[in-house]
Amino acid sequence: MTAMPRILALFAAAAIAVSAAPPVIAQDLIFRPEEPAPKPSTSQGSSNRSSSSSSSSQADSQPPVSALPSCVTASFTVADRAADGDLWDQPGRLPDPRITETTTGTTGKCNNSFTCSMQIRPTGQTLRFSIVDYDPLNADDPIGTGQCRIGSSCTFGQVSVRIDPC
């Protein structure tokens, strides 16, 4: 009989300790699409149905719009020199990055700077960029063209890019 009150006291203490623990907050908010299930093959499919399923599998690989952040900040760091080793502009001058995110048409620019950033409302997890050094007298010099996923750092051409939610 004396063991029963001791067990109840231990049980009550454990229940209080569990209820007093702070809630755990999920840190991973990145959308990871599920692998599509293999579709059964049928010999009676029309060509329209086939092309329809092909386009739907591409759409399935994109996360739902609600999983995307409403805003991301893309930060760019341009290399000291162009790919050919020359300075970007006249001696002593810095590049003038002109940036286009090609999936949304968002543009940004910075004058006389190796760094630049811009905010974008993404339509997918991967953003595609074209960056040039603006030159009002001659043709613009290419800096880099490539793509980068939200939450990643990437390098293409003569530029490093970091994309984070706003």
* Model confidence at 65: pLDDT above 90: no
In what order do the strands lie in the sheet containing 72-78? 115-120, 72-78, 159-165, 153-156
Q: What is the 3-state secondary structure (H, E, C) of 61-109?
A: CCCCHHHCCCCEEEEEEECCCCCCCCCCCCCCCCCCEEEEECCCCEEEE
- Residues 149 and 33: their CA atoms lie apart, in Å, by 14
Whole-angstrom CA distances from 25 to 10, 22, 38, 67, 151 are 28, 9, 34, 17, 19
pTM of the model: 0.60
Cα angle at 5 between 4 and 7, to 5 degrees?
65
Q: How do residues 80-137 score in pLDDT, each as one tens digit?
A: 999 998 888 876 789 999 999 999 999 999 999 999 999 999 999 999 999 999 988 8
- How is residue 12 written in tokens? 């009550």
Q: What are 128's strand-pairing partners?
A: 147
Q: How do residues 34-55 score in pLDDT, each as one tens digit?
A: 555 555 554 444 444 443 444 4
- How is residue 150 written in tokens? 């939200």
Secondary-structure percent of the chain, ordered helix, strand, coil, rounded to 5: 20, 30, 50
- How is residue 42 written in tokens? 């049928």
* Model confidence at 160: pLDDT above 50: yes
Q: Which one is predicted more confidently, 5 or 105?
A: 105
Predicted local distance difference test score (pLDDT) of residue 63: 52
- Residues 135 and 94: their CA atoms lie apart, in Å, by 11
Tokens 């003569």, residue located: 158
